[in-house]
Amino acid sequence: RKEVEQDPGPFNVPEGATVAFNCTYSNSASQSFFWYRQDCRKEPKLLMSVYSSGNEDGRFTAQLNRASQYISLLIRDSKLSDSATYLCVVILWMDSSYKLIFGSGTRLLVRP
């Protein structure tokens, strides 16, 4: 089983739709979580951190479910510019160092 798993998609949605992605992680000791966005042929860029209580940034809402070991990203009122690959990232601390584990990404296509 992969340490971090995501549905590769693509999710093909019309403009204005609400879309949600899930990401599951296998190590219950994982401590920090992030969503990144990667446009085609570009570097990943931090979209938002995921807090235990859930957090919102404009049209984007991130949630963490530690019991079921998944995080989610909800995008409301999708825009064409939201088309990208969304990477789930988990931080795992081991001894005095940490390791970032990246999911393979979920591709979102927003159509007019």
Partner 1 sequence: SAVISQKPSRDICQRGTSLTIQCQVDSQVTMMFWYRQQPGQSLTLIATANQGSEATYESGFVIDKFPISRPNLTFSTLTVSNMSPEDSSIYLCSVEGDYNEQFFGPGTRLTVL
Binding site for partner 1 (CB under 8 A): 32, 34, 41-46, 49, 87, 89, 91, 98-100, 102-105
Q: In what order do the strands lie in the sheet with 19-25?
A: 4-6, 19-25, 70-75, 60-65, 55-57
Minimal distance, residue 88 CB to partner 1, in Å: 9
Compare residues 78 and 89 and give the one whose CB is closer to partner 1.
89
Compare residues 59 and 99 and give the one whose CB is closer to partner 1.
99
Minimal distance, residue 38 CB to partner 1, in Å: 9
6-17 b/e (C-beta count within 10 Å ≥ 16 → b): beeeebebeeee
Which amino acid type is present at position 4?
V
Minimal distance, residue 112 CB to partner 1, in Å: 26
Please, how many CA atoms are within 13 Å of residue 87, restricted to the half-sphere of its CB?
17
Compare residues 78 and 105 and give the one whose CB is closer to partner 1.
105
The answer to whether 6 and 104 are in contact (CB under 8 A) is: yes
Minimal distance, residue 87 CB to partner 1, in Å: 7
